[in-house]
Amino acid sequence: MNAGFNARGALAIYRNELYRAWRAVFGTIVSPVITTCLYFVVFGAAIGGRMNNVGGVDYGAFIVPGLLLLTLLSESTSNASFGIYMPRFTGSIYELLSAPVGVGETLIGFIGAAVTKSLILAAIILATATIFVDYRIEHPLLAFGFIILVACAFSLFGFILGLWAEGFEKLQMVPLLVLTPLTFLGGTFYSIDMLAEPWRTIALFNPVVYLVSGLRWTFYGEADVSIGVAAGLTLAFLALCIAIIAWIFKTGWRLRD
């Protein structure tokens, strides 16, 4: 790949990925929003009406950051993994490898498109949440920055997953069997302070707990884990993903098989 930066190449990849998303708008936009609405109906209205406030926050509003993160993790990972997997599946990856674009342009194109789609979804979900609950965001700039950080980290993770997967089954296995259970057990619908020992301590080994807590802090100023710890761990995960991708492009693993 070319060592110089090819802005037009990065933009071409970015546009192509966004066009692909709009061609399947129901799966990429409509379906996650409908799912989130169902969560609000079931947990926010049905269950929330029978629960007291959690940490001084109405239960329906309390679950907004968790539901937002639930969608953010799954969609960022899925969009990026599917985006790089399809060129491998169709064989067009060889055109990309022979094109005058480097690792930076490739990542900007694929990851940038995945993050953009995730941010659009996040905005739609927050707008949808206003129909069901009255929530607030005490630190909007920090919330926006944390959402971008999480979207970038898990888009990079999805990119690695798309290179690793040998079939559609493996492509869907990690989001369904790993990310979704960890998110449900990561304080999406409850505070880990509500758990008895030893489950409260065990929950701290779930990395998603720190993501949910970090985002919830930007909304309400209180969380189970410090925002500094949450942001630091997310940055470390992002750096690890970048290092792995750099190694993949250097060695050609899964790219030239």
**Where along the chain do its domains lie?**
7-251
Amino acid, res. 63? I
Residue type for 161, please? L
How sure is the predictor about 238, in pLDDT bands with cuts at 50, 70 and 90?
A: very high
pTM of the shown model: 0.89
Asked if the model's pLDDT at residue 244 lies above 80, the reply is yes
pLDDT tens digits, 150-198:
999 999 999 999 999 888 888 888 888 888 889 888 888 888 888 888 8
CA distance 190 to 216: 11
Q: Coil, helix or strand for 42?
A: helix
Would you state the pLDDT for residue 49? 63
Position 138 scores a pLDDT of 95
pLDDT by residue (tens digit) across 65-87? 999 999 899 889 988 999 899 88
Cα 14 to Cα 6: distance, rounded to the nearest angstrom: 13
- 174: nearest Cα among 155, 191, 161, 193: 161
Q: Residue 1: its pLDDT value, please?
A: 46
pLDDT of 149 > 70? The answer is yes
Contact assessment for residue 72 and residue 150, using Cβ atoms and an 8 Å cutoff: yes
Those residues with Cβ within 8 angstroms of residue 154's Cβ, 6 or more apart along the chain or in another chain:
72, 73, 76, 77, 80
Q: So what's the pLDDT on residue 65?
A: 93
